[in-house]
Amino acid sequence: EALEKEGFDHFMLKEIYEQPKTIKDAMRGRISSKDGKVWLRGVDEYANRFVRADRIIIVACGTSYHSALIGEYLIEELARINVEVEYASEFRYRNPILTERDIVIAISQSGETADTMAALHLAKERGALIYGIVNSVGSSIARLTDAGSYIHCGPEIGVASTKAFTGQVTVLTLMALNLAHRLSTISNTYYRTLLRELELIPGKVEEVLKQSEHIKYIASEIKDHNNALYLGRGYNFPVALEGALKLKEISYVHAEGYPAAEMKHGPIALIDENMPVIVTATNQSAYEKIVSNVQEVLARKGRVIAVVNNGETAIAEIADHVIHIPPTEEPFAPLLAVIPLQLLSYHIAVQLNRNVDQPRNLAKSVTVE
């Protein structure tokens, strides 16, 4: 086992550090810089169904559900196709409206999650095209679907999903770009800018990973609190959900993710000096609004840990702790912003002596309904 961890203390840490490579692997052979095309075999094969689709419904559980939410933002913004995201377990039991003009995408690391499988069976019965975004090659979901794209991350051992999340988001990004190009929903210039930037992401993830020691220090400052609130807007809202899930899963600290603007409708009542608030504020849009969210937290003595772009000053000057990451195009923000949150929960869990790779009560893949 020590050999398999390649010198890292835990599989989770190893998998966090693999992300520059796994994101590259998810893109490999799928982008042609020469003619600016994005290839995704499953989408290319069923291109007619995709471009005529009334809507795309994405079903998933756990971390995969959070990448599905990012997929919704990406596909709606770039390709202008209606997207709905649903917990697989809810979808299958509520007699959803489905037609042959719908596409149902299942996202699953293991390809074996029972609720996700059941949701796909239902969608297939009703004639929808079913598509898988899966890590495990040859898994049940991969075999059941009409088409799909593997994320090519290699085996993920840590129960808390990390590299599979960024792999899923990478494939969803490629899908959104492929469809946007087909449907001419974004300008050629913007399309090329995005493609160029996407290829820089693995290098930028590498940069973020260099902050691990600094994040370890922040972890030591906040590890004894019983609660944490994660905030983000737009593309960073699902990142907040994922950050909170990571903390819950491996450190057993209660955490909630919220859209920053919703804070005033409830969570703000919880804020005092015992509430660390982790704000992901790398957005260019609605930036002023995020600054004022941070001020609201500080006015109530909450402790702010802010993830901001390199060079950002407004929030950096007032937050208790700051993690700087390289700026990127807004649709790619989650691929960078999730990394410090993965590291933060990792370091908190280690400092609390938790069983990082095999947290209590959780399973790597849930094959019961």
Please count the residues of this chain forming the interface with ligand G6P, following the rule CB under 6 A. Answer: 16
With beta carbons less than 8 A apart as the criterion, state whether 335 and 74 touch. Answer: no
Q: Which is nearer to ligand G6P, 142 or 319 (CB)?
A: 142
Which of 144, 209, 314, 366 is close enough to bind ligand G6P by CB under 6 A? 366
Who contacts 213 (Cβ-Cβ below 8 Å, separation ≥6)? none
Residue 20 vs 167, nearer CB to ligand G6P: 167
Residue 319 touching ligand G6P (CB under 6 A)? no
- Who's near 333: CB < 8 A, 6+ residues apart? 234, 235, 236, 239, 282, 283
Minimum CB distance to ligand G6P, residue 221 (Å):
27
The yes or no reply on residue 22 touching ligand G6P (CB under 6 A) is no
Q: Does 328 bind ligand G6P (CB under 6 A)?
A: no
> Can you tell me the distance from the alpha carbon of 261 to that of 293, in angstroms, rounded to the nearest whole number?
7
Binding to ligand G6P in span 107-166, by CB under 6 A: 108-110, 113, 116, 159-161
Residue nearest to ligand G6P (CB): 62
Distance CA 49, CA 146 (A): 12
Maximum separation of any 2 CA atoms in the chain, in Å: 56
CB of 151 to ligand G6P, least distance (A): 10
**Least CB distance to ligand G6P at residue 250 (A):** 10
356 DSSP 8-state letter: S
Region 56-115 residues binding ligand G6P, contact defined as CB under 6 A: 61-64, 108-110, 113
β-strand pairing of 227-232 with 254-259: parallel
Tell the smallest beta-carbon distance from residue 87 to ligand G6P (Å).
Answer: 10
Catalytic amino acids? 364
CA distance 179 to 359: 39
What CA–CA distance (Å, rounded) separates 267 from 265? 7
- Give residue for tokens 């737009």: 234
Should residue 351 be labelled a site residue for ligand G6P when binding is judged by CB under 6 A? no
Among 211, 227, 358, 365, binds ligand G6P (CB under 6 A): 365
**Toward ligand G6P, which CB reaches closer, 118 or 291?**
118
Whole-number Å distance between alpha carbons of 306 and 231: 10
Distance CA 193, CA 306 (A): 27
The residues binding ligand G6P (CB under 6 A) are: 61-64, 108-110, 113, 116, 159-161, 362, 364-366
